[in-house]
């Protein structure tokens, strides 16, 4: 994802990972807890469940941003990572801004999450468990297996002995594959929005940005309707509704600035 970097706060957590400076803004924890409590909906979320969720989101968003940062470094940049609100960002002042590098940098985030999920499946198999990823979200897993439908794929695994371990796997696959796929939608400020902007600008330098903002607006509005009607989630509808509106605002601002 990309969006404006948040201001520094005294509650920021700082550390380095693979040479990249990492800053975790307090809103990151706040929103993660909020989403974790929301996940349970009518069910009660216990503390263990919430801690597993926070750990998974923290590790997964970090892996996603590491994907972006490693690709930025490959193109000669010296990026830093910020974890904030609904995700994070890998930014740099000296990054290669050419469309081709920007497309690869944007795709590297979701790709890192997918690779991590596949690595977990491989690890499960290597330790003698049955697990896999099947195409299609309506796949039936073998009897007695956990099956997690994720839009275009279903992850299934043989239940492990402990409940927390199964919760950990479920959260992990959901964040790394599910969020990764959502992130690829051609919506600003998701990674897919950035890819769509670069691709459309390459094919139509004069109108690329306007086209990508229009695509973003329509895709976000469609997702808001899907969220509300198909998934029955006002939260998803609200999130995508506000993204559709901000794309609309960006479009108006861009048009008035270019005249």
Catalog residues that contact Zn ion under the rule CB under 5 A: 1, 109, 191
Nearest CB to Zn ion, comparing residues 131 and 187: 187
What is the SS3 assignment for 239?
A: helix
**Distance of CA 28 to CAs 43, 95, 205, 221, Å?**
24, 25, 36, 26
Nearest CB to Zn ion, comparing residues 83 and 131: 83
- Rounded CA Rg of the chain: 19
Q: Shortest gap between Cβ of 191 and Zn ion (angstroms)?
A: 4
Nearest CB to Zn ion, comparing residues 109 and 227: 109
Q: Which residue is nearest to Zn ion (CB)?
A: 109
Nearest CB to Zn ion, comparing residues 1 and 95: 1
Q: Shortest gap between Cβ of 190 and Zn ion (angstroms)?
A: 7
Strands of the 146-150 sheet, one edge to the other? 131-135, 153-157, 146-150
Report the distance separating Cα 187 and Cα 167, nearest Å.
30
Report the distance separating Cα 177 and Cα 157, nearest Å.
15
Q: Shortest gap between Cβ of 116 and Zn ion (angstroms)?
A: 14
Q: Shortest gap between Cβ of 109 and Zn ion (angstroms)?
A: 3
Beta strand 20-24 pairing with 87-91: unpaired
Nearest CB to Zn ion, comparing residues 109 and 208: 109
Q: Residue 112 has which token pair?
A: 């890192």
Q: Shortest gap between Cβ of 132 and Zn ion (angstroms)?
A: 26
Nearest to 230 by CA among 238, 222, 242: 222
Nearest CB to Zn ion, comparing residues 131 and 184: 184
Q: Shortest gap between Cβ of 194 and Zn ion (angstroms)?
A: 8
Beta strand 80-84 pairing with 20-24: parallel
Q: Which residues pair with 147 in a beta bridge?
A: 156
Q: Name the burial class of residue 161, with classes exposed (0-12), middle (13-18) and buried (19+) by CB atoms within 10 angstroms of its CB.
A: exposed
């Amino acid at each position: 994802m990309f969006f404006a970097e948040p201001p520094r706060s005294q509650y920021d957590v700082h550390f380095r990972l693979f040479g990249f400076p990492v800053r975790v803004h307090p809103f990151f924890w706040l929103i993660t807890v909020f989403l974790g409590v929301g996940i349970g909906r009518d069910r009660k979320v216990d503390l263990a469940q919430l801690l597993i969720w926070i750990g998974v989101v923290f590790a997964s968003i970090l892996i996603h941003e590491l994907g972006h940062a490693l690709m930025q470094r490959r193109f000669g940049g010296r990026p830093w990572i910020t974890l904030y609100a609904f995700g994070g960002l890998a930014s740099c002042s000296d990054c290669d801004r050419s469309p081709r590098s920007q497309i690869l940098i944007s795709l590297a985030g979701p790709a890192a999450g997918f690779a991590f999920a596949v690595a977990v499946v491989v690890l499960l198999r290597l330790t003698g468990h049955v697990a896999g990823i099947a195409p299609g979200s309506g796949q039936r897993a073998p009897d007695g297996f956990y099956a997690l439908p994720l839009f275009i794929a279903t992850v299934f695994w043989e239940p492990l002995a402990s409940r927390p371990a199964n919760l950990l796997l479920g959260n992990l696959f959901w964040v790394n594959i599910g969020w990764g796929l959502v992130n690829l939608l051609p919506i600003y400020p998701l990674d897919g929005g950035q890819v769509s902007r670069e691709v459309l600008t390459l094919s139509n330098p004069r109108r690329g940005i306007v086209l990508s903002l229009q695509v973003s607006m329509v895709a976000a509005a469609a997702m808001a309707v899907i969220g509300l009607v198909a998934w029955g989630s006002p939260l998803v509808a609200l999130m995508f509704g506000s993204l559709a509106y901000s794309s609309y605002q960006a479009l108006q601002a861009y048009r008035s600035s270019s005249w």
